[in-house]
Structure 1
Amino acid sequence: MITHDMHLMLEYTPRALVFSDGQLIADCRASQVLCDPSLVARAALKETSLFTLANRCEITPPESFVERFIHEDREVRSHGR
């Protein structure tokens, strides 16, 4: 999947390849990409609201919070709630 929609990416894949100026700059868990401010800046991505919320609530590590949230969201959607 190729997308610029970061929430969509989190819903459908655990792994992310990040490119900038035609160069591969990251190959890691999708949640790691979105919870790494320097990588987000380097790839010209936007900080997600989930990462912002985790930081404001001092939830550590933020990657775990993002992954749990997406998992729960997926469960709710699959049961039509």
Structure 2
Amino acid sequence: NEQRLTAEAERIKGDATREIEQERRKAVQDIRTQTTELALMVAEKVVQRSLTEADQRKFADEALEALSKSYQR
């Protein structure tokens, strides 16, 4: 009976450890996603403030041209 209880306690401990690790990984991934989104927002604001309208048009045209070329391959 004591062996059974010990085995059950070990199983519960193992399950809890796996669940904690899974939640930790999820939290880290959420932080990475939020950090990336924030960095993109900041970069977008900086670019909007520092580029003229003509610069923005040229940048968009170049990006579209590069995208078009990548699809032609």
More strand by share: 1
- Name the structure with the higher helix share: 2
Which of these two proteins has the greater Rg computed from alpha carbons? 2
Report the TM-score when normalising by structure 2. Answer: 0.36
